[in-house]
Structure 1
Amino acid sequence: MDTNLIKNIVRIGRVSSINAAANTVKVVFTDKNELVSGELMVVNRGSMADKDYWLPDIDEQVLCLMLPNNSGQGLNAGFVLGSFFSAEDEPQENSADVRAVKFGDGTVVKHDRSTGNLTINATGDISIIAGGAVTIRGNKVEIN
């Protein structure tokens, strides 16, 4: 197999556009003279009964797995495997025990398995919708 083809299969680029309806993005590769990919599918952690929806932001750095085409004219189809932290975009946490999601508006959902604490800090309203009973139980319950 051509070594140039192999080194182009795994690529790093920045999201240039988003197609939310199709769950795809286009990525620009600065090391390839600003070459823009075709629509790349975004890999998520579930797509059947359990679904985890995510799309990277415009200009977010992403890791791509490109599929070689049969014509040999280049790499245009593939997948966005995810984004990654860097000196430019540092992680918001620094513990192997913490799983957290921080949204662009400042909302945070965080679980620390070392303490068992779950924190939800919303910048807007919170809605709890249940098809059955809602139970709140704790050693101390404060409602403000």
Structure 2
Amino acid sequence: MKIKITIEEIRKYLDIETPEFPKYVAPLINLANQYAQGTRPRVVGQMSELIQEFEGKTLKEWEEWYLKKKPDAIENATEKILQKLEELRNAMNKIDQHTVEQWVRDLVIVKTFTRLRFQEAILKKGAEIKRTNYRLAKPDEESKGIDGYIGLFQYL
């Protein structure tokens, strides 16, 4: 029997409150943290090692133990993330319709064209080296992650 348990269920069973955040706030903080690297081991400690050292049983015990071991970690991580959020806020203020249109055009037109031509160039080069033929993938093959074939078919 396969049993799945969600993080929400774990929190409920362990009587741990789930914080509520306004829409988009948690993903934005997460994004800022990825850039800021605020929760990396050099800032908050190597969590996998710390949890092994911890001998308590409860969340409260863990919090007290961790904060004694790493008294500045939460504040340092928070500051790093807040700084990055401020940088993101400043960047957001620079985004207008023209900027978004440029980004969409680059993605849809330029990157699509470059990616497809890049794939074809690689397939051509591979076929040239192997002295055989090639073809780009068909749409149903692309949906399976296939870019093309070298020397695996005959032209009809």
- Could you say whether these structures have the same fold, taking a TM-score greater than 0.5 normalized by the shorter chain as the test? no
TM-score by length of 1: 0.19
TM-score by length of 2: 0.19
Q: Which has the higher helix share?
A: 2
Who wins on radius of gyration, i.e. which is larger? 2
